[in-house]
Every structure is written in structure tokens, then in C-alpha cells.
Amino acid sequence: MPKMKTHRGAAKRLKATGTGRLKRNKANKSHILTKKTTKRKRGLRKATLMSKADEKRYQKLLPYGA
């Protein structure tokens, strides 16, 4: 069986934590920022863990880890 290919788009957007969970950045931080509050924009800077349901799907795209 040949080696599995990593989905490059997913690899660029996700990082694996020490326990194997996937870390992602939040959306809605690229434009139309004037109407968003400073508090909201500050919260969008922080990375967050991917939900367990999505994580299972994305593990298939990253067969060798992120």
C-alpha cells in the first residue's frame, strides 16, 4: 500500500497539541473589523481546540499528525 498523502490545506491551518487534539485559529478576523468590538477582536486572536466531532474528520486528512 502506498503512503497516504497529507491534505496540505489542513496541515497549514491546524497544529496538533501534546495530547493529540487539534488546535485551530478562529474565523471572522480578516475584514469588516470596524463594527466588531475590541473585546471580540481580542478573543478572536486566541487559538482554540477543534470540536471532537470535527476532529475525527480532520484526523483522516492528517494521517501523520499536523
pLDDT digits (tens, 9 = 90+) for 51-64: 999 999 999 999 98
Q: Are 61 and 53 in contact (CB under 8 A)?
A: no
Topology, domain 8-61? Factor Xa Inhibitor (4.10.410)
pLDDT digits (tens, 9 = 90+) for 4-50: 999 999 999 999 999 999 999 999 999 999 999 999 999 999 999 99
Domain ranges for the chain = 8-61
Separation of alpha carbons 21 and 42, rounded Å = 23
Q: Are 24 and 10 in contact (CB under 8 A)?
A: no
Q: For residue 66, is pLDDT > 90?
A: no
Cell of 21: 487534539
Cell of 13: 491551518
DSSP-derived 3-state class of residue 7: coil
Separation of alpha carbons 51 and 24, rounded Å = 10
